[in-house]
């Protein structure tokens, strides 16, 4: 039977789609006819010009703008004739937020209901794998949704700011249509199909964010009616100011939007089974009513957009300004590598420690090494400065994830066993003594959900130790990643590996005892993590680490700490009185400065431009380099060459040609480069972040770069401000003339 449904599922889907569309069209038509017959028109108030506000006219406009073509993404019933007047013209510009703020008391009840729904909404989460969830998908694709959602969950009572946050989520949620979200979650579920049971809810549950599909769902009917009344009155003011939109023009624009929307839906592979006339029937309107509503929208748009476009009419001043601001200086920039941006005494001590460990001794305290000790000598003196590189395909799993394979019934049974209970009692103090499995199970059921979840998770971890095949299965299903591993001082540091020395020892034994070592590396356990290492290849013999590598893997930091510990007792007496009694961790910087006393004296002799002691360490060498480069700009003593050894290249200047403008250059560059004559060397500059650099000015050029993109951005921002100001004035006029009728229809009607 199931095979029959699978075979013909496409035909069933098409048939269901046709039936649903037909019913929507029929009931849309029926509701329109019945509404016309049972609800005669009436006056509900006065517009800003004193004309009558008619119920059917405003409700038709409200119905028309209450849905747009983007509602396809949220699973709602879209209006393919509306390109998003509320979404794009009112919410995006900030007009809607102003209208809500000015009439908040009228909308408060509706918005409170929506906020409550958002706060209690949980979102889909797979019962057997919490990491397969809608929140996780949103976090990867549009993390701002989760951030705003979290903020709203802390709001005690709705206010205009809450509306702004809800409006932001409303704009963002179209990034992941509900049917896309379902497909992503199903794909994630299938990745774990070997141990994860399919969840029927995932195929059936409404996955639209907060269960909202339409503007009414998001903000309430009163909000949509308020937007309709605002557009109606704005169209009246537009006509007062000489704007005109003919019936035929509005009709043509509606059809254009419909054709454009159908084309977009076809490109996105959305099923589209109804026509222009069907869409009108679904709205419960005839063409005259739809065109009349759209005339009002077009009048509103023209009036507001024309006023917002009236700024920045003359672009000439901005173009002339750009020609000066974008004057270009072509320079050779000389600077030390990033690793040599020294910011503290500890950084300087790290550099000196590295130099002493890997290089032959020099009488010049400030010079950087050009000759290095042999690997054997360094390994004997400072083994942490030598590294052997391996490559391996690494598979990693978390035992707690593998434990999810255990059925809940088996977990509960395991928890109530006497031996397990004793272990759980030691881990969780809130568990009590119980003699029988029944008593233990009863105690577990009395725990609050948070405590019960912690106990179950820990029990699953214990149960995994009794089922090693679960771990093997999880490793078999895991995705391996080719990784470079560094063996240094007998250890391999890897995230979540708690015993790096043991791991390093296994790699060292591969040549002498391959069977034993590779067997252990096939399933290497460390705490909650389990690893598998395959395709192991030794890619280098032992080599001396660069300064950057030694900093990155923490080996140099550990070496510095070791030095400080050894000197602490001796140097403590030389510390200021207020620091003598402090712990080592609090006075590391002070100790490093005491240990670098000779370096400081050598720097003072170089007459370095004022800066921090750490940066002046490299500034002193930059003075020497600049003097030599003024004679030979490619001096190999200071400039790294192609194919040069990483050890020697790491202590040489980087030279890059750059094009600097007045706007994009650093302050010190623009200060000198647009004053000095070409073919001039700038002074040494020391930045607050420890960067030391100087430049050679080759020439300057005048460029006429376009600024129209920046003008457009500024125009858009100022245009929105103008629209918001105009909206505020118009709405004040509506309030004065009592043209704000909310609710438009009372509950009895």
Q: How far is CA 363 from CA 366, 598, 638, 650, in A?
A: 9, 12, 19, 21
Question: What are the beta bridge partners of residue 387?
Answer: 543
Predicted pLDDT at 244: 93
Helix (H, G, I), strand (E, B) or coil at 517: helix
Predicted pLDDT at 310: 65
Predicted pLDDT at 388: 94
Structure tokens at 114: 């929506």
Distance CA 554, CA 559 (A): 9
Q: What is the mean pLDDT of residues 259-288?
A: 83
Predicted pLDDT at 370: 85
Distance CA 529, CA 90 (A): 52
Residue 398 belongs to what H/E stretch? Answer: strand 386-398
Least confident of 218-222, 396-400, 664-668: 664-668
Query: Of all residues in the chain, what percent carry a pLDDT higher than 90?
Result: 30
Least confident of 131-140, 318-327, 466-475: 318-327
Structure tokens at 603: 């720097």
Confidence of residue 576 (pLDDT cuts 50, 70, 90): confident
478 compared with 272, residue with greater pLDDT: 478
Q: What is the mean pLDDT of residues 26-45?
A: 56
Distance CA 651, CA 547 (A): 9
Distance CA 290, CA 276 (A): 11
Mean pLDDT, the chain, as a whole number? Answer: 83
Least confident of 12-26, 157-171, 244-258: 12-26
- Position 33 pLDDT exceeds 50: no
* Segment 345-384, tens digit of pLDDT: 999 999 999 999 999 888 888 888 888 999 999 999 999 9
Predicted pLDDT at 176: 79
Predicted pLDDT at 517: 92
* Segment 69-109, tens digit of pLDDT: 888 777 778 888 899 899 989 998 889 999 999 999 999 99
Confidence of residue 337 (pLDDT cuts 50, 70, 90): very high
Provide the residue ranges of all domains of the chain, joining segments of one domain with +: 1-34, 39-309+732-736, 330-373+553-701, 377-399+475-541, 407-466
Confidence of residue 470 (pLDDT cuts 50, 70, 90): confident
What are the DSSP calls for 332-351, one per residue?
EEEE--GGG---SHHHHHHH
* Segment 170-197, tens digit of pLDDT: 888 888 788 888 888 888 888 887 778 8
244 compared with 174, residue with greater pLDDT: 244
């Amino acid at each position: 039977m199931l095979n029959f449904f699978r075979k013909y599922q496409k035909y069933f889907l098409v048939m269901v789609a046709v039936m649903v569309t037909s019913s929507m069209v029929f009931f849309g038509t029926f509701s329109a006819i019945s509404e016309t017959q049972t609800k005669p028109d009436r006056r509900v108030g006065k517009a800003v010009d004193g004309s009558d506000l008619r119920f059917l006219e405003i409700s038709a406009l409200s119905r028309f703008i209450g849905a747009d073509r983007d509602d396809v993404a949220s699973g709602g019933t879209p209006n393919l004739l509306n390109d998003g007047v509320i979404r794009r013209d009112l919410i995006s510009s900030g007009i809607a937020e102003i209208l809500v703020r000015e009439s908040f008391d009228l909308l408060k009840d509706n918005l409170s209901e929506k906020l409550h729904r958002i706060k209690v909404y949980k979102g889909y989460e797979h019962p057997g794998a919490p990491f397969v969830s809608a929140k996780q998908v949103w976090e990867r694709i549009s993390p701002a949704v989760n951030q705003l959602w979290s903020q709203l969950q802390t709001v005690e009572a709705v206010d205009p700011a809450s509306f702004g946050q809800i409006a932001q989520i409303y704009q963002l949620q179209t990034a992941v249509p509900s049917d896309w979200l379902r497909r992503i979650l199903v794909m994630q579920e299938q990745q774990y199909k070997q141990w994860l049971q399919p969840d029927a809810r995932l195929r059936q549950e409404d996955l639209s964010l907060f269960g909202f599909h339409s503007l009414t769902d998001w903000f309430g009917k009163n909000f949509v009616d308020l937007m309709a009344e605002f557009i109606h009155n704005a169209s009246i003011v537009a006509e007062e100011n000489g704007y005109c939109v003919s019936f035929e023009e509005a009709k043509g624009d509606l059809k254009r939007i419909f054709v454009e929307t159908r084309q977009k839906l076809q490109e996105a592979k959305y099923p589209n089974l109804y026509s222009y006339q069907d869409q009108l029937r679904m709205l419960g309107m005839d063409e005259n009513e739809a065109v009349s509503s759209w005339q009002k929208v077009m009048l509103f748009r023209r009036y507001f957009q024309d006023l917002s476009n009236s700024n920045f009419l003359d672009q000439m001043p901005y173009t002339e300004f750009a020609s000066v601001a974008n004057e270009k200086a072509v320079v050779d920039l000389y600077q030390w590598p990033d690793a040599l941006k020294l910011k503290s005494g500890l950084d300087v001590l790290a550099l000196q420690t590295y130099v002493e460990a890997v290089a032959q001794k020099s009488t010049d305290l400030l010079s950087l090494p050009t000759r290095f000790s042999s690997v054997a000598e360094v390994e004997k003196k400072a083994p942490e400065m030598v590294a052997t590189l391996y490559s391996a395909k690494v598979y990693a799993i978390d035992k707690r994830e593998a434990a999810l394979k255990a059925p809940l019934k088996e977990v509960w049974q395991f928890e109530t066993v006497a031996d397990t209970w004793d272990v759980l009692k030691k881990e969780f103090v809130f568990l009590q003594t119980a003699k029988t499995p029944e008593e233990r199970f009863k105690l577990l059921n009395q725990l609050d959900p948070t405590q019960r979840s912690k106990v179950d998770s820990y029990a699953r971890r214990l149960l995994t130790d009794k089922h090693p095949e679960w771990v093997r299965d999880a490793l078999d299903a895991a995705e391996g990643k080719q990784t470079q591993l560094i063996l240094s001082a007998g250890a391999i540091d890897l995230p979540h590996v708690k015993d790096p020395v043991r791991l390093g020892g296994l790699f060292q034994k591969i040549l002498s005892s391959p069977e034993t070592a590779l067997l252990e590396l096939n399933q290497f356990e460390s705490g909650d993590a389990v690893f598998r290492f395959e395709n192991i290849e030794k890619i280098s013999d032992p080599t001396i680490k660069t300064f950057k590598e030694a900093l990155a893997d923490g080996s140099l930091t550990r070496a510095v700490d070791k030095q400080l510990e050894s000197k602490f007792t001796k140097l403590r007496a030389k510390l200021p009185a207020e620091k003598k009694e402090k712990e080592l961790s609090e006075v590391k910087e002070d100790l490093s400065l005491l240990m670098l006393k000779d370096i400081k004296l050598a720097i003072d002799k170089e007459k370095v431009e004022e800066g921090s002691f750490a940066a002046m360490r490299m500034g002193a060498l930059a003075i020497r380099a600049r003097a030599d480069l003024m004679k030979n700009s490619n001096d190999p003593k200071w400039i790294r060459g192609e194919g040069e050894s990483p050890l020697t290249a790491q202590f040489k200047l980087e030279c890059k040609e750059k094009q600097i403008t007045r706007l994009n250059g650093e302050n010190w560059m623009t200060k000198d480069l647009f004053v000095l004559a070409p073919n001039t060397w700038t002074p040494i500059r020391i930045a607050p972040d420890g960067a030391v650099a100087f430049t050679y000015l080759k020439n300057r050029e005048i460029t006429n770069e376009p600024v129209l993109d920046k003008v457009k951005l500024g125009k858009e921002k100022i245009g929105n401000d103008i629209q918001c100001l105009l909206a505020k004035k118009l709405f004040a006029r509506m309030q004065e003339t009592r043209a704000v009728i909310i609710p438009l229809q009372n509950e009895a009607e």
